[in-house]
Amino acid sequence: MASLVLSSLCFTSQKPCSFTSSLRFSFGVLAGSRSAAPLTVGFRPVKRRNGRIRVSVYSRASPLVFRDLDADDFRHPLDKQNTLILKAIPGLNELGRALLAGTVTEQIMLLENIGTSVLVSKDQLPELHKMMIEAAGILNIESPDLYVRQSPVPNAYTLAISGKKPFVVIHTSLVELLTLNELQAVLAHELGHLKCDHGVWLTFANLLTLGAYTVPGLGAFLAQTLEEQLFRWLRAAELTCDRAALLVAQDPKVVISILMKLAGGYPSMAGQLNMDAFLQQACSYDKASSSPVGNAQMRQLSHPLPVLRAREIDEWSRSNEYRSLLKRATQMNVVEKV
């Protein structure tokens, strides 16, 4: 039975130094990440009114639904290009499936993620449940299970096991950092990996980020033959999933705001963040990175840099391709949203 871990949304990361790294199976830890204050599982800061605690609930205007949406309708061109390159490598797909056949890895993944998280349902954190169901409906995909896990590191990731229902995990600090619309866009990003069947290639990338390149034989093969190509593909796949987030949010400002907050935002100052200034950073980065050092840095990253992702989604939101998708969509009705 094959297991595969799909990428997290949140951060760029480089390879860890050993295979004994924390088995959280995500790409989302930056060295020196700040620790958050004590966290609670919730949606917005609670307010006290007349002696009672009230929590804001999720609500949005009826979104557009993409009933006949195919993954290639929004797949990033670099994703398509690099997937073809990987498929052309003889035996790679078979090797990946063989690596994923072990039951030990499978059990570690299940125990680590399911055993330490809260399963979301219509009776458990129902607003989050509603957001996931709605996002899956918009993207025309079956809704996976959703878990909330206590962690000071804002992150989200997906686990898929062959023959079993996949599930998404989000960290409590991410819930605290984002608005409800932003949080649903994060869920949509993770759904994008499932929609696009980012399977075996993402698994190889995960093995690399977990330090599998240190394993004798296998490590040498991956490091020497696949490492740079896999990370190039992974960065492209993340751009595809940012597009999935936009298809659900249906507002580029929502997706850009997520990327800005993950780069350097925090709840108490969120209202002072400026998206135009953040997009301008992409131009500054282009100038500063036009050197061998900048190019070398990019080759080692699992995710595109946040400012570049923001610029990509801003440009796609104004493209004819995106507008054509919106024209094909239909309004979600009340019955579908329940």
For the chain, the domains span 64-291+301-331
Q: What is the pLDDT of residue 293?
A: 57
**CA distance linking residue 310 with residue 239, whole number of Å:** 10
pLDDT of residue 204: 64
Neighbours of 167 (CB within 10 A): 21
What residues are annotated to the active site? 190
| pLDDT-based confidence at residue 53 (cuts at 50, 70, 90) | very low
Query: pLDDT band at 216, cuts 50/70/90?
Result: low
**DSSP state at residue 51:** T
d(Cα 289, Cα 297) in Å, to the nearest integer?
9
* Model pLDDT, residue 186: 98
Residue 83 tokens, joined = 């997937």
pLDDT, tens digit (0-9, with 9 covering 90-100), for 232-270: 888 899 999 999 999 999 999 999 999 999 998 887 888
Q: Is the dihedral of CA 262, 265, 271, 275 positive or negative?
A: negative
Residue 313, SS3? helix
214-227 residues labelled b (16+ CB within 10 A) or e (exposed): beeeebeebbeebb
DSSP string, 52-116: EEE------PPPEE-TT--GGGT--HHHHHHHHHHHTSTTHHHHHHHHTT-HHHHHHHHHHHHTT
Pairing of strands 47-49, 167-171: unpaired
Task: Pull the structure tokens for residue 128.
Answer: 């989050």
Least confident of 35-49, 218-232, 260-274, 320-334: 35-49
Q: Which of 1-5, 90-94, 199-203 has the lowest mean pLDDT?
A: 1-5
Query: What's the pLDDT tens digit per position in 167-196?
Result: 899 999 999 999 999 999 999 999 999 999
pTM as predicted: 0.78
Q: Nearest to residue 117, comparing CAs of 177, 161, 159?
A: 159
Measured distance between the N- and C-terminal CA atoms of the chain, rounded to whole angstroms: 34
Q: Are 255 and 242 in contact (CB under 8 A)?
A: yes
Helix/strand/coil (H, E, C) string of 139-154?
CCCCCCEEEEECCCCC
Kindly report, residue by residue over 32-42, the tens digit of the pLDDT. Answer: 333 332 222 23
Q: Please report which residue ranges of 157-226 form alpha helices under DSSP H.
A: 172-177, 180-195, 199-209, 218-221
Check if the beta carbon of residue 124 is closer than 8 Å to that of residue 155. Answer: no
Q: Which of 132, 124, 149, 249 is nearest to 194 (CA)?
A: 132
What is the C-alpha separation between 274 and 262, in angstroms, rounded? 14
Q: Which two tokens stand for residue 283?
A: 């131009």
Q: Which two tokens stand for residue 245?
A: 């987030």
Q: Is the model's pLDDT at 152 over the cut of 90?
A: yes
218 has pLDDT over 70? no
